[in-house]
Amino acid sequence: MTLDECRIATQLHIDRVRKYIRFFTDKLTTRGELHDASKMTSPEIELFAEHTENLNKIEYGSDEYKKELDELKPALEHHYSHNRHHPQYHKDGVSGMNLIDIIEMICDWKASSERQKNGNLLRSIEINAERFGIDKQLMQILINTAQLLEDN
């Protein structure tokens, strides 16, 4: 292979990688635009309007928090069944998710932690790793990503 042929082949590879990265960024942009749209309509909006203020005053994962979730159950069941960034959407939980789902999920956890009493993304990851059976490797990736979010 000549140097020019090598440059051409390498540029073609770079262009393909860019194409695939654009695929992901386009999907993520769409996810951001559509995130939690189901919360804006019935049957979710009514129950979330009733309970969100209380949820924001309660520490994530506490017994009080779990009680609020029980009262939100009809809205949450609807929400989970319409939003694939939640492990509950998938028959296999986190194992059924793709990277786009995982990225939206951690962004959701970050934004939610900012609304809660003593909100802490790292603590949310710890709680949710146990809750959803997230293995140590993915948990570490989520922690690394949380640190990236915190640094920016």
One-letter amino acid of 93:
G
At residue 111, does pLDDT exceed 90? yes
| pLDDT tens digits, one per residue of 15-60 | 999 999 999 999 999 999 999 999 999 999 999 999 999 988 998 8
Which pTM was predicted? 0.92
% of the chain surpassing 70 pLDDT: 100
In sequence order, what are the residues at sequence separation of 6 or more whose Cβ sits closer than 8 angstroms to the Cβ of residue 80? Answer: 86, 88, 89
